[in-house]
Amino acid sequence: MPFTSILNRLENAIPYADKVNEKVSQRGVDWHLEHSLKIVNSICKTLVGSKEEDYAPKFSLPKYYILWTNKIPRGKARSPKIFNTKETVDTSTFPEFLEKTKQRLVSIENLKAQQHFRHPLFGDLKLKAAKKFINIHTSHHLDIIEEIIAAS
């Protein structure tokens, strides 16, 4: 699953990191960029370190809905506190953070299918579903970013 498109969209949004439009989102472009990069890095790191024998499937209707529709409904979910900081975002780190993210995405390309990460609501997602979730989640935030930029 190529991540080129979302990486390009993230990179193209960096110059607009200072944009905010509370009619679109209470958070600015900077927060959505940082949040997206943190999530991708965290998922990749967890996938690499996961043990196949620890995979524990869990039925989750929201998981199947989101993976089937390729969409996260706006305003329906909340980020875990660790990824939902209200601190000022240091936008000067974005180019380096993006490069780190690219490397992390490369690191998951040759993992075994049973490697997984545990989502707080969905339970364990195997590699293929995790990659799909990365695309869906990042695209969700990129759509918000692009709407903020267009409205500014």
Please state the domain extents for the chain.
4-151
Helix (H, G, I), strand (E, B) or coil at 50: coil
**Per-block mean pLDDT, blocks of 10 residues, the chain (152 long):** 88 97 94 95 97 93 95 78 71 95 96 95 96 97 97 85
Residue with tokens 């949004």: 13
Q: What is the pLDDT of residues 81-113, one digit of tens each?
A: 666 666 788 999 999 999 999 999 999 999 999
Pair 131, 108: CB distance under 8 Å: yes
Fold of 4-151: Four Helix Bundle (Hemerythrin (Met), subunit A) (1.20.120)
Pair 55, 45: CB distance under 8 Å: no
Q: At residue 23, what is the residue type?
A: K
Instruction: Report the pLDDT value the prediction gives residue 2, as an integer from 0 to 100.
Output: 74
Q: What is the pLDDT of residues 118-128, one digit of tens each?
A: 998 899 999 99
Q: Six-digit token pair at 93?
A: 């780190």
Instruction: Report the pLDDT value the prediction gives residue 75, as an integer from 0 to 100.
Output: 77
Instruction: Report the pLDDT value the prediction gives residue 79, as an integer from 0 to 100.
Output: 67
Instruction: Report the pLDDT value the prediction gives residue 89, as an integer from 0 to 100.
Output: 87
Instruction: Report the pLDDT value the prediction gives residue 50, as an integer from 0 to 100.
Output: 97
